[in-house]
Structure 1
């Protein structure tokens, strides 16, 4: 299967859709009777005084989530091709994104992090443009606004503001106005939110928005470790991808090296920002899938032993389907 997606053949879009369905068979078979979808944080619900919570029929919820994943996979694939992150075009980033989106059953339904992945893809387009962009101030301002919109939908998205400053350090010489204008972009969105709070006579509650940022990082999380055995091939592939990138790191263009450094930082930021939400939820880690899928695609594009990487990918697929049919 990997060799099929190594080529940039439009027919792979069809195979991608088939795989997307196959990776959801187990969950469709055991779909819960009710699935709710809320698209705004509680503090932002003044922006949508009507319906901000939808109770779709379960199968429709899963179908809509699959459509969003499919679109995002194609956007991630286009992103990597446009900026030459892999050196040559292929459909591997889309394949990896679709595969990783089926890791856990909470990934298969509509959720705020899934919606925010559109914003993260949009951010990556703009972040990579900083390398050769002439007007970095307007790009940075837009990035600040994107992070603000994302944090209205899913508050931990606020930490991706750090990715803006990291990108400025990697791609641009230091210019203090570019660092400040991102804050202005973020503040613009929350200024209008503050106006709405004022008009609703709730301005004293506005400062409570940032209270979760003071939450201490947890030292222990109660989880069922059997459900995370599927992560074993994920960790192996990720480590092999890092090793492969290091092997040819200094032979790559400067822009590509810095882009992968930025992707790794974004992976760390999205992975570690889960603690801001009071209730632990696996859906948060959907934000990690975009950089992770690009690292995976890099490994599978340049891996040498076909029997090994095809077997490793098959084990990953089999583990995903198995754990959808079996819960411990």
Structure 2
């Protein structure tokens, strides 16, 4: 399977769709009677003055989520191949994203983090372009706007504002105007939100939007045992990827090295920003699948022993399907 996607063959799009369906089949067989879909935060509910939470039937909800994942997988594949991050074109980034986006059952339905992944991919296109940009002020302003829009949809997305400053540190010399313009871009969206609050006589509530940022980081997370088991092959692949990256780090182009550094920081930010949610939800970690798919693709492209990497991916694939039918 991995060897098939190592090649940049347009026919792999068909196989990608087949695998996407296979990774959701177990959930479709026993889909719940009702699935809620919330794509804006409560403080931004004024922007969507209609009831939409149960607009889709459960089966349609899952199918639409799969379509979005498929489109995002192709976008990620295009991004990584366009910037030659892996050294040669392949369909591995798309395969890894489709696989990781099926890891847990909360990943399989429409959710705010899934919508935000479009914004994160858009950000990556712009962030990587900072490296060769002569004047980055307009790009940085746009990035601030994107993070602000993402915050309206899913508030933990606000922490990806740090990714803008980290990218400026990695890709460019320090220029304080670029750092400030990112803030102005973010503030623009919330200025218009404040106007809407004012027009609805709700301005005193506006300052409460940022109260979750002061929430204490949790001491422990309560997740099921099957979640731990599914994370075993994921952690193994990540560790092997970092070893492989370390071996080839100084053999890569400067832009490639810097981009993987940025992806690592984005992975950390998306992993740790879950805590400001009122309730812990596994769907948050869909944001991690965008940078993780690049790391996974890098490992599987350069892994040496075919029997080992094929077995490792097959183990992950079978585990995902097994736990959709059997919850421990």
TM-score with structure 1 setting the length: 0.99
Partner of 1:44: 44
Partner of 2:306: 306
Q: Is the 8 A contact 1:227 1:327 kept in 2?
A: no
* Distance in 1 between residues matched to 2:56 and 2:174, nearest whole Å: 48
* Distance in 1 between residues matched to 2:131 and 2:222, nearest whole Å: 42
Q: Is the 8 A contact 1:39 1:52 kept in 2?
A: no
CA RMSD, Structure 1 to Structure 2 (Å): 0.7
* Distance in 2 between residues matched to 1:54 and 1:185, nearest whole Å: 33
SS of match in other structure, 1:235: helix
Q: Is the 8 A contact 2:34 2:54 kept in 1?
A: no
Partner of 2:118: 118
* Distance in 2 between residues matched to 1:221 and 1:235, nearest whole Å: 17
* Distance in 2 between residues matched to 1:15 and 1:223, nearest whole Å: 32
- CA shift digits 1:132-170 (9 cap, x unpaired): 012200000000000000000000000000000000000
Partner of 2:33: 33
Partner of 2:195: 195
* Distance in 2 between residues matched to 1:100 and 1:226, nearest whole Å: 15
- CA shift digits 1:45-92 (9 cap, x unpaired): 111122342331111000000000000000000000111110110000
Q: Could you list the runs of 5+ residues in structure 2 that have no partner in the other structure? A: none
SS of match in other structure, 1:131: helix
* Distance in 2 between residues matched to 1:291 and 1:63, nearest whole Å: 24
SS of match in other structure, 1:130: helix
Q: Is the 8 A contact 1:126 1:139 kept in 2?
A: yes
Partner of 2:64: 64
Partner of 1:140: 140
Shift of 1:225: 2.1
SS of match in other structure, 1:31: coil
SS of match in other structure, 2:291: helix
Partner of 2:19: 19
Partner of 2:155: 155
Structure 1 segments, 4+ long, off by >6 Å, are: none
Q: Is the 8 A contact 1:35 1:55 kept in 2?
A: no
Partner of 2:85: 85
SS of match in other structure, 2:174: coil
- CA shift digits 1:303-324 (9 cap, x unpaired): 1100000000000001000000
Q: Could you list the runs of 5+ residues in structure 1 that have no partner in the other structure? A: none
Partner of 1:317: 317
SS of match in other structure, 2:132: coil
* Distance in 2 between residues matched to 1:291 and 1:96, nearest whole Å: 10
* Distance in 2 between residues matched to 1:200 and 1:107, nearest whole Å: 35
Partner of 2:207: 207
* Distance in 2 between residues matched to 1:302 and 1:200, nearest whole Å: 57
Partner of 1:130: 130
Partner of 1:104: 104
Partner of 1:95: 95
Partner of 2:258: 258
* Distance in 2 between residues matched to 1:82 and 1:139, nearest whole Å: 19
